[in-house]
Amino acid sequence: MLFNTFSFVVFLVVVLAAYWLTPGWNRRKLVLLVASYLFYAAWSPPFVFLLFFVSWLNWVLARHMAATQEAYLRHGFLLASLLSSLGLLSYFKYGTFLFASFSDLVNALGGSFSPPELDIVLPIGISFYTFHALSYTIDCYRGRLVPNQSFSDFALYVGFFPQLVAGPIVRASNFMPQLLRQPLVSRDHWGWGGVLLLLGLFHKVVLADAIFAPVADQLYSAPGDASFGDAWLGVLAFSCQIYCDFAGYSTCAIGLSMLFGFALPENFQAPFAAVGFSDFWQRWHISLSSWLRDYLYISMGGSHAGHWSTARNLMLTMAIGGLWHGASWMFVIWGVLHGFYLVVERFVVSQLAFAGRYFSTVGLALGTFTIVTLTWIPFRSSDLAQATAVIEALFRPGNLQILPDQLLLLISAVGALVFFQIRNRERSFSQVFQAWPLAAQSIWLSGAALGLFLFSGGDSRGFIYFQF
Alpha helices in 348-403 (DSSP H): 361-380, 384-393
Closest of 166, 199, 201, 381 to residue 285, by C-alpha: 166
Of the candidates 42, 41, 36, 37, the residue with the CA atom closest to the CA atom of residue 7? 42
Integer Cα distance of 7 and 39 in angstroms? 11
Query: Using omega within 30 degrees of 0 as the cis cutoff, is the peptide bond preceding 168 cis?
Result: yes
Active-site residue, selected from the candidate residues 203, 285, 325, 338: 325
Q: What is the DSSP string of 253-268?
A: HHHHHHHTT-------
Exposure class string for 314-325: b at 16+ Cβ within 10 A, else e: bbbbbbebbbbb
Measured CA to CA, the distance from residue 271 to residue 269 in angstroms comes to: 6
Look at residue 381 and give its three-state secondary structure. Answer: coil
CB of 175 within 8 A of CB of 257? no
Handedness of CA 458, 226, 277, 327 (dihedral sign): positive
Q: What sign results for the dihedral spanned by CA atoms 95, 101, 105, 111?
A: positive
Element (H or E) spanning 167, and its range? none
Residues in the chain, how many?
468
Q: Which helix (H) or strand (E) holds 457?
A: none
CB neighbour class for 265 (10 Å; exposed up to 12, middle 13-18, buried from 19) = middle
Q: Find all residues with CB under 8 Å of 69, minimum gap 6, and list them.
A: none
Residue 145 carries which DSSP code? S
* 325 flagged as catalytic: yes
Return phi, psi of residue 110, to 5°.
Answer: 100, 0
**Which positions are annotated as active-site residues?**
325
